[in-house]
Amino acid sequence: MAEQHPRHRAPHRDDFPGEGAARGTARLEAFADAVFAIAFTLPIVEIKVPHGDEPLTAQLAELWPSYLAYAISSLVIGIYWIQHHFSGAIYRTSGHWFNVATVLFLTAIGFIDFPARAFAEHLPDPDGRGPAAIFFVAGLALTGVTWWIKWKVGRSRGHVDARLEPHYVDCLNRRYNVSTVLLIVAAALALIRWEVGLALASAVTLFYLLAPPTPVYTEEAPIVEGEESA
Amino acid sequence: MAEQHPRHRAPHRDDFPGEGAARGTARLEAFADAVFAIAFTLPIVEIKVPHGDEPLTAQLAELWPSYLAYAISSLVIGIYWIQHHFSGAIYRTSGHWFNVATVLFLTAIGFIDFPARAFAEHLPDPDGRGPAAIFFVAGLALTGVTWWIKWKVGRSRGHVDARLEPHYVDCLNRRYNVSTVLLIVAAALALIRWEVGLALASAVTLFYLLAPPTPVYTEEAPIVEGEESA
Amino acid sequence: MAEQHPRHRAPHRDDFPGEGAARGTARLEAFADAVFAIAFTLPIVEIKVPHGDEPLTAQLAELWPSYLAYAISSLVIGIYWIQHHFSGAIYRTSGHWFNVATVLFLTAIGFIDFPARAFAEHLPDPDGRGPAAIFFVAGLALTGVTWWIKWKVGRSRGHVDARLEPHYVDCLNRRYNVSTVLLIVAAALALIRWEVGLALASAVTLFYLLAPPTPVYTEEAPIVEGEESA
Amino acid sequence: MAEQHPRHRAPHRDDFPGEGAARGTARLEAFADAVFAIAFTLPIVEIKVPHGDEPLTAQLAELWPSYLAYAISSLVIGIYWIQHHFSGAIYRTSGHWFNVATVLFLTAIGFIDFPARAFAEHLPDPDGRGPAAIFFVAGLALTGVTWWIKWKVGRSRGHVDARLEPHYVDCLNRRYNVSTVLLIVAAALALIRWEVGLALASAVTLFYLLAPPTPVYTEEAPIVEGEESA
């Protein structure tokens, strides 16, 4: 079969000695996907069915900050999941320190629910709004930094698919560098004027709703996972 | 092997350039399954063990609205999961905008627990029953609309298995169009008479408990996943 | 390759037309595993860190019913997961009604946390102990019945691996029939004397901690998943 | 294909009769990963958005024990996940008693959130600090013991990859023996002086942040999962 599809040649032990037991990315992605899915879905338990004296319609309407918290969490975690899923096609192996960096990133993903909720629930409160926004922007910046660390560890330890065109990998690298700097700037700006910091952090995050650049390979390579053997 | 099973020929990069890193649907399904599983199982934490003065049997019996909320959530999410699992055989690839549409749909799946609980918990309350039912029907309609958006995005961006008979895909398309219109009508009717809206939305949702039409292929194609290479 | 390993011939569309899009069991198992994992892990959120005036050691010790609830849930769900994992080697395909039956079973698995907690938390309470035990035994019986329904649906719809020896499948069938009857008897007995019902239901459940009989095949068949192609 | 890659020969039924339906480790890993992911992410729901009278910044800062609890849980569970993921390359099959041992280990993983939270929340409390630290160290020791039991069961029942060099497996065995003894010693020491017990248990746990020794095989063997067939 190696003769039939030489371009599919899998990396063997000799090609990638790695640290610890280097493995493909399948199970790392599976663990990450599960953490994403839980962080994505958990916030719903924070919304409690109201049983007050007012008409139920009014009580349900008054819960809008909770709905907003759920929507913000879903949006942020959804965007990160989409980028993480995309990067599953960029990395080709995993190793010990890449796992450690991924766990650090997932710690931030699991945490972001809390600043998002703090921000949404304090939005109607003139005194709390500012501090809550700063806290949320700091959470976004922290998450961005852990993503960047994961990228740097993955790249420096040879986990990025070696068949990708170097200029393509450089392009991703520039993107992640610029986004991370902007998120840190946003967190700093938020301390001065929270509206500006929040706007910048939101813009950087929403930018990743756009499709990432299609990977460019130096040689022919399969792009559709799970069908490589057909 | 391509010679042995020409009908299994997998789409390669040239066949499906896609946006971003187009991939098979395996990991997208895995993420979606995890969100479904969490939304399906989480409602149990909303039921608290009673520690009142009444006999425990009576206290446990009085929790029936909570049991009903759990049953409704399980039924609705279970039905959507079954349809989503089925559609895993309909879509053949995923791409950036299809991922975005799936995340939107999953946001609705994660949210539906709350209107289901609001409805069940206010069922014994004559004043709250109506508004809660409207809220629940609106939630069902919203979920239906996001499913429909996912379908439209998946179809228009070429993620549907090209080996399916066009009339079969048209049949699914009609189903989803009609269901979505009926769910929106149900939400509108619920504002006038909640019982009617609720009955219609329930009927549309329960319709999907029936087996979907078996896929019809233009050429021979494997139907059992994970065994294609045997 | 079919020539090299004729015994691995995968069922194709013509062999198993099924309802809806019949598929292998991989994703159904994945969804079920996720529900099991959540139901298994969720009960920990019910245990709250005490902040009372007594010495902390005493307060932590007084939480023993909560620890017991966690242990019981883990044991029951763990046993069912092990059996479900085992049955992943018994079923070979899935289909619409089998999916529906699995969702029904998973609804019971997700629910069992609540009767387990009600039982453990009311164990120190002389008045509540009996009703709580009845509720728990009823929960175990309900879960057993849904497992049995899944088995019957899976078997009657042809999802059981056709390469298994008929007497082996009959042996499993007898086991599940007998267990289900015993669990229903236990629930009935519990209404009369809860200790007896509880003892019987516990014995039936704990029986499944023993290894299931090793599958017997009519022809040579691979038993180790994921390595069939080697 | 067996001729082309004789070293990839998969174990068949005759090679590994096992108890019950012996299977590969894929689904066992998937279930374990899901439990890890949930235990890793759940603690965030324990942090409640403050709505008091103090300035929000002060209220958010006062929540530091909750943030610490989240960080400790993430660290401990993250370290165990990384080791568990690594061991997925060490074990080659699973079987009934190995599944039982894994469920026992996962029960401890799911529980560790609670002692971690109890410790972090009582850290500012001079009276509670000691008992809470003892409870946390006991939790770490218990988790270590269940990991050790899983290893012993897996090894004695032949689930360890037979292609690994015996001295490599012995090296892992020594590691796990020593760690387990040290964790038990730490729990005993904690009863006398909690600071010492806590320091030892933390040191043992943090040791596993280091990369495990790269597996050494007696014959050439693929190390990158999911790419064996290429």
pLDDT, one tens digit per residue, over D9-61 is 334 333 444 556 566 788 898 899 999 999 999 999 999 999 999 999 999 99
CB pairs under 8 A between B and C: 153
Would you say residue A110 has pLDDT above 80?
A: yes
Chosen from A72, A111, A142 to mutate, greatest number of chain D CBs within 10 A: A111
Beta bridge partners of B160: B91
Q: Which residue from D13, D31, D100 is facing C37, i.e. has the nearest CB?
A: D31
Would you say residue B93 has pLDDT above 50?
A: yes
Mean pLDDT to the nearest integer, B98-119: 97
- Specify the 3-state DSSP secondary structure of C119: helix
If pLDDT is split at 50, 70 and 90, which confidence band does A135 have? very high
C-alpha–C-alpha distance, residues C10 and C15, integer Å: 9
Are C84 and C36 in contact by the 8 Å Cβ rule? The answer is: yes
Residue A91: list chain B partners with CB under 8 A: none
Q: Which residue from C41, C86, C89 is facing D39, i.e. has the nearest CB?
A: C41
Token reading at C129: 């102990």
Q: Which residue from C44, C49, C224 is facing D16, i.e. has the nearest CB?
A: C224
Give CB contacts under 8 A, 24+ apart, made by B129-132.
Answer: B129/B194, B130/B194, B131/A55, B131/A56, B131/A57, B131/A60, B132/A56
Name, in order, each residue with C-beta under 8 angstroms of D9's C-beta and a sequence gap of 6 or more.
C230, D2
How many CA atoms, within 13 angstroms, populate the side-chain half-sphere of residue A99? 33
pLDDT of residue A21: 60
Token reading at A120: 């949404």
Q: State whether C1 and B229 contact (CB < 8 Å).
A: yes
| Cα dihedral: D110, D111, D117, D118 (round 10) | 180
Would you say residue C9 has pLDDT above 50?
A: no
Mean pLDDT to the nearest integer, A158-185: 95
If pLDDT is split at 50, 70 and 90, which confidence band does A227 have? very low
Q: State whether B42 and A44 contact (CB < 8 Å).
A: yes
Q: State whether A39 and D36 contact (CB < 8 Å).
A: no
Q: Which residue from A89, A220, A229 is facing B229, i.e. has the nearest CB?
A: A229
Closest-CA distance, A188 to chain B, in angstroms, reads: 30
Measured at the CA of B213, the angle between CA B209 and CA B215, to 5 degrees, comes to 135
User: Nearest CA to B189 among B148, B134, B136?
Assistant: B134
Residue D82's closest chain A neighbor by CA?
Answer: A99
pLDDT of residue D189: 98
Residue A50's closest chain B neighbor by CA?
Answer: B118
Q: State whether B1 and C5 contact (CB < 8 Å).
A: no
In the block, which residue shows the tokens 């850290």?
D123
Report the amino acid identity of residue C46.
E
pLDDT of residue B137: 98
Q: What is the pLDDT of residues B113-141, one digit of tens each?
A: 999 999 999 999 999 999 999 999 999 99
Which chains would you list as touching A if contact means 3+ CB atom pairs under 8 Å?
Answer: B, D
CB pairs under 8 A between C and D: 153
Chosen from A85, A168, A229 to mutate, greatest number of chain B CBs within 10 A: A85
Closest-CA distance, D137 to chain C, in angstroms, reads: 14
CB atoms within 10 A of CB C39: 27
pLDDT of residue B18: 55
pLDDT of residue B14: 37
List, in sequence order, the alpha helices (H) in chain D: 26-41, 56-62, 64-87, 96-111, 113-122, 126-156, 166-192, 194-207
Mean pLDDT to the nearest integer, D173-186: 98
- The angle, 0 to 180 degrees and rounded to 10, between the axes of the packed helices B129-156 and B64-87 is 10
Closest-CA distance, C21 to chain D, in angstroms, reads: 23
- The rounded percent of chain C whose pLDDT value lies above 70 is 85
Name, in order, each residue with C-beta under 8 angstroms of B166's C-beta and a sequence gap of 6 or more.
none
pLDDT of residue C27: 84
Instruction: State phi, psi for C54 to the nearest 5 degrees.
Output: -65, 165
Q: Which residue from C56, C82, C86 is facing D132, i.e. has the nearest CB?
A: C56
- Specify the 3-state DSSP secondary structure of D160: strand
Q: State whether B229 and A225 contact (CB < 8 Å).
A: no
Q: State whether C34 and D34 contact (CB < 8 Å).
A: yes
Chosen from B1, B9, B12 to mutate, greatest number of chain A CBs within 10 A: B12
pLDDT of residue D1: 32
Closest-CA distance, D189 to chain C, in angstroms, reads: 17
If pLDDT is split at 50, 70 and 90, which confidence band does B4 have? very low
Would you say residue C25 has pLDDT above 90?
A: no
More confident residue, A8 or D194: D194
Q: State whether B22 and A224 contact (CB < 8 Å).
A: yes
pLDDT of residue C173: 97
Q: Which residue from D4, D60, D225 is facing A131, i.e. has the nearest CB?
A: D60
Chosen from C29, C51, C73, C85 to mutate, greatest number of chain D CBs within 10 A: C85
**Taking phi first (over 0 means left), then psi (-120 to 50 degrees means alpha), and beta for anything else, what does residue D54 get?**
beta
Name, in order, each residue with C-beta under 8 angstroms of A10's C-beta and a sequence gap of 6 or more.
D222, D224, D227, D228, D230
The one-character DSSP state at D94 is B
Residue B42: list chain A partners with CB under 8 A: 41-42, 44-45
Q: State whether A107 and D33 contact (CB < 8 Å).
A: no
Would you say residue B173 has pLDDT above 80?
A: yes
Q: State whether C44 and D110 contact (CB < 8 Å).
A: yes
CB atoms within 10 A of CB D33: 25
Distance of CA A223 to the CA centre of its chain: 22
User: Nearest CA to D226 among A25, A18, C222, B2?
Assistant: A25
Which chains would you list as touching D if contact means 3+ CB atom pairs under 8 Å?
Answer: A, C
Q: State whether C31 and B82 contact (CB < 8 Å).
A: no
If pLDDT is split at 50, 70 and 90, which confidence band does B7 have? very low
Are D144 and D186 in contact by the 8 Å Cβ rule? The answer is: no
The one-character DSSP state at A91 is B
Residue ranges per domain, chain D?
23-207
Q: What is the pLDDT of residues C103-139, one digit of tens each?
A: 999 999 999 999 999 999 999 999 999 999 999 999 9
Closest-CA distance, C84 to chain B, in angstroms, reads: 16
Question: What Rg value do the Cα atoms of chain D yield, rounded?
Answer: 21
Mean pLDDT over the full length of chain B:
87
Q: Which residue from A26, A122, A131 is facing D226, i.e. has the nearest CB?
A: A26
Closest-CA distance, D192 to chain A, in angstroms, reads: 34
Token reading at B106: 């999953």
pLDDT of residue B21: 60
Residue C98: list chain B partners with CB under 8 A: none
Name, in order, each residue with C-beta under 8 angstroms of A175's C-beta and a sequence gap of 6 or more.
none
Residue D227: list chain A partners with CB under 8 A: 10-11, 24
Measured at the CA of C123, the angle between CA C122 and CA C129, to 5 degrees, comes to 75
Residue C134's closest chain B neighbor by CA?
Answer: B57
Q: State whether B85 and C28 contact (CB < 8 Å).
A: yes
Chosen from C114, C119, C153, C194 to mutate, greatest number of chain B CBs within 10 A: C114
More confident residue, C23 or B182: B182
Q: Which residue from D13, D26, D229 is facing C229, i.e. has the nearest CB?
A: D229
Are B3 and A223 in contact by the 8 Å Cβ rule? The answer is: no
Q: State whether B71 and C107 contact (CB < 8 Å).
A: yes
Residue C114: list chain B partners with CB under 8 A: 44, 47, 49
Burial letters for D47-63: b for 16+ Cβ neighbours within 10 Å, e otherwise? bebbeeeeebeebbeeb
Q: What is the pLDDT of residues B38-85, one digit of tens each?
A: 999 999 999 999 999 999 999 999 999 999 999 999 999 999 999 999
Beta bridge partners of A160: A91
Residue D131: list chain C partners with CB under 8 A: 55-57, 60
In the block, which residue shows the tokens 């189903």?
B175
- The angle, 0 to 180 degrees and rounded to 10, between the axes of the packed helices B129-156 and B166-192 is 160
Residue C42: list chain D partners with CB under 8 A: 38, 42
pLDDT of residue D20: 60
More confident residue, D7 or A111: A111
Residue C76's closest chain D neighbor by CA?
Answer: D103
Report the amino acid identity of residue B134.
I
Residue C1's closest chain D neighbor by CA?
Answer: D1
Would you say residue A167 has pLDDT above 90?
A: yes
pLDDT of residue C223: 47
Residue B74's closest chain C neighbor by CA?
Answer: C107
Q: State whether A13 and D220 contact (CB < 8 Å).
A: yes
